[in-house]
Structure 1
């Protein structure tokens, strides 16, 4: 066999996803929690979409944004997890060169979209609490559609340079990616060229999206908390805050693993490779799994509708 994995090739037709480096012997065991979380994410997010579609009282901005979040979670997890499981179960490590860049685009594009959807949900909570009498006149269906389109366009356009820049580089060192998926920097680091343009642009996107979105969310909740603390009774304050609790939990579930993954990837040169890979996978698996659980448990309308469906089916 020729040493095609290391020398004498440029832009190979296939790339090799190694999986979780250093933990190859326990891939089968790791696949159990991965498969469990993915199954919960698929069932949970489809349940959210089904309940919102079937329940007319949920046809309001908050639940439209929740449906956008569910769709984003479904795409984000499905773009990566099935291939990861095929590596763990069948040792199917090869991925087509073009398919790798397609996965890269969906992975990062829908991550940016999800962050934007969380900002839109913070806007909804801000209007609902700070200007409740005009909530449905401000966030009309056409406005919700425009916000959704803006979120999709931002994610699509910001990430579009990722695969285009990555395809420019010659790949002549190795075709082995030390990861379970085609994460942007994991791929471009294989190039035998100066990849500073790709590196700086991905840093710009990560910082601008993360910190701008967190800034807008913090500004919204600063105003929300100001209104909450001005309410006359403790019961009223707790009841109003309860309407935001699910959204706050989802924000934390999304941004904490994301920031941790970003910081370890950029500044954790001494962090083991398997830890990098595990953190990156947690970021892709945990939020899609937790989001429908959080909203299902903490949102009375969804919880009641779900219980009604179960009892109706059993009787």
Structure 2
């Protein structure tokens, strides 16, 4: 399945039904008496979060959505039927904005969350509505009102508690594949991961925590270079970041600095997000070099460094323990 996390659609609520002019035949009632009913209300357009959806792919093929129109009024003061509402399902974590001005209309984070994005038009008045002491036989009615019509920008932001970030080939996919049942594409070249991957990591208590493997950042990602800019939005909702630095890199300090600068440039508080610094792929260097690089990275960042090797399992128990502790401190 293709992973699509942005889409633009147009929604149109239903038009209200027209009122009508009608008279009934009744003794002692002038001109038979007004009996024209009001038109029905147009249908609304709703968005609803669905836990079974993981992508906005469906909106690549259908972009126009319209609710039903209200029916015209009937004789004997009968009100026309209301238009049928249109329900559009979206993945949990979908942010809804007005496509023209960027105004945030709603954020559907939990399954079942609903948002009315376009209201149906009011039905027109029938001539019975205009009956008064001064006008006993009105011959006036009004048309229904058009429903709201607007373009929407849908943006999916994955719901994960822990986001795994780092330069390409830092070992992010290998880590999530070892910690969870996720099976991302792993290869010995940059950008082998082209979409975010989600994996559920079990706590000692048995509860699951969702980890997100975010495609590699590069210098300039916050301005759109590489893949990072397209997927940085997916770590906006995370509570904790795992920043992986490749132990076999030429300069671990530089690699750390590049990612940190991109987080700062992107904004949205990502640079201030609680973060664990991890030196990955330690199985590619000897123990003494690993300690030296941990010290260099710690001095450059001012943080403790967790050395791991996903392939051999080195340090993974200490890493997950640190993750659970960091998450518990935020509760």
Q: Which has the higher helix share?
A: 1
Q: Which has the higher strand share?
A: 2
- With normalisation by structure 1, the TM-score equals 0.23
